[in-house]
Structure 1
Amino acid sequence: MTNSSENRLEKTWATACVGRLNEQKRLLNLLRPHVPTDELWVRPGHDLNGIGHLLQHIKGNMSQYILHTLGAKGQGREREKEFQDAPKITSDALFDSVCETLDQSALRIEKTLVNFWSQQHRIQTFEMSALEAVMHSIEHTAYHIGQIALLVKQRKGIKLSFYPSID
């Protein structure tokens, strides 16, 4: 591949990732009004996570897999705490925090140089390239947002209309 082709691929990859992150933020903001603070830590069953736990987990995963891998300082993830209740935080504050992490991740992706994407990293117990780490985190976030959407639908008995033009 020529440098020109690599640069186009880098731009296409980064643009696609940022587009996915923006879509995830849009979906979270549509879910936000349906998640009051008093429902954040309600677990739908034994050994299942509530919406607050899933949001904390999304933030932790993205911080580790995207922000830290792409050079942000202070990884400091405490994965076990993501699944503990944090009753002092409001729903809006938690959604804001996750959306800020999505924004920071998008900026970090946009600034990543082409030669960095193939570099190998050890994340938790896994060896992977920076590209794979970002792909993993975006996919991981998408399925947890799907879980949150399901919990909201079950609790509220509503249609979320994520895509009103095709509903």
Structure 2
Amino acid sequence: MLNYTLMALFERDLKRVINELELYRNEADLWRVEKEIANSAGNLVLHLIGNLNTYIGKELGQTGYVRNRELEFSQKDVPREELIAKVNETITVIKNALPAVTDEMMQREYPLVVLQEGTSTEYFLVHLSTHLNYHLGQINYHRRLVGDRF
């Protein structure tokens, strides 16, 4: 079932986010912005946490999560260990929510219209996975830009 494949991919890639956070030698660099880069790695991580907790946790897992999207991009200096803990909590939320999504539910329209038009739950979950990877790449690039180049 696709839900288990997606669950494994979300877990794998969120662990990669954690790895990126751990590779920053200077924790303050998580919040640096350079030149025309608008978002720090820390803010991208907060955004991924909010995004996945909203669209998987709240909508599919009925967690009651309340998102503050503006804060995802304005909050600064959250300690690295707190970010890592929140990413790990997000992995748990996903692992609790996705097993309950049946093949039939995958084919139904996702409960919210998030993109320009309604999509199936399956389509939207794949979109969320690619969204995660897009920002994972940005975080990796950010780390190399502002810190060590390894």
Alignment of 1:75-90 (within 5 A): 75-87=65-77, 89-90=78-79
**Aligned residue identity for 2:99:** E
Verify the 8 A CA contact 2:32 2:146 in the aligned structure 1: no
Higher helix share: 2
In structure 1, stretches of 5+ residues that fail to align are 1-10, 160-167
1:4 maps to none
> Following superposition, which runs of at least 4 residues in structure 1 exceed 6 angstroms of deviation?
none
State the Cα deviation string for residues 133-153 of structure 1 (Å, max 9, x = none).
211111111110110011112
Conserved? CA contact 1:59–1:98, under 8 Å: yes
> In the TM superposition, what whole-angstrom CA distance separates every residue of 1:50-82 from its partner, at most 9, and x where no partner exists?
011100110111112222231323242221111
Q: How far is the alpha carbon of 1:46 from its aligned partner?
A: 4.6
Gap regions ≥5 residues in structure 2: none
Compute the TM-score of the two structures, normalised by the length of structure 2.
Answer: 0.84
Partner of 2:94: 105
Distance 2:27 2:64 in 1: 28
What is residue 162 of structure 1 aligned with on the other side?
none
Cα pair 2:18 2:87 within 8 Å, conserved: no
Give the CA RMSD over aligned residues. 2.0
Residue of structure 2 equivalent to 1:131: 122
Aligned sequence identity (%)? 20
Q: Which residue of 1 aligns with 2:49?
A: 59
Contact 1:66 1:133 in 2 (8 A): no
Q: Distance in 2 between matches of 1:123 and 1:73?
A: 19
Specify the SS of the correspondent of 1:18.
helix
What is the distance in 1 between the residues matched to 2:95 and 2:64? Answer: 18
Inter-CA distance 150–81: structure 2 relative to 1 (3 Å threshold): same
**Contact 1:53/1:82 (CA < 8 Å) preserved in 2?**
yes
Q: Deviations over 1:105-158 (max 9, x none)?
A: 133112222221122222446422221221111111111011001111222333
Query: Which structure is higher in strand share?
Result: 1
Tell me which structure has the larger Cα radius of gyration. Answer: 1
Instruction: Tell me the matched-pair count.
Output: 147
Change (3 A) 1:25 1:122: closer
Deviation at 1:23, TM superposition (A): 1.5
Any conservation in 2 of the 1:17–1:106 contact (CA below 8 Å)?
no
Higher RCO, 1 or 2 (CA under 8 Å, sep at least 6)?
Answer: 2
Aligned partners of 1:56 and 1:83 also within 8 Å:
yes
Match of 2:64 among 64, 68, 74: 74
TM-score normalised by length of structure 1: 0.77
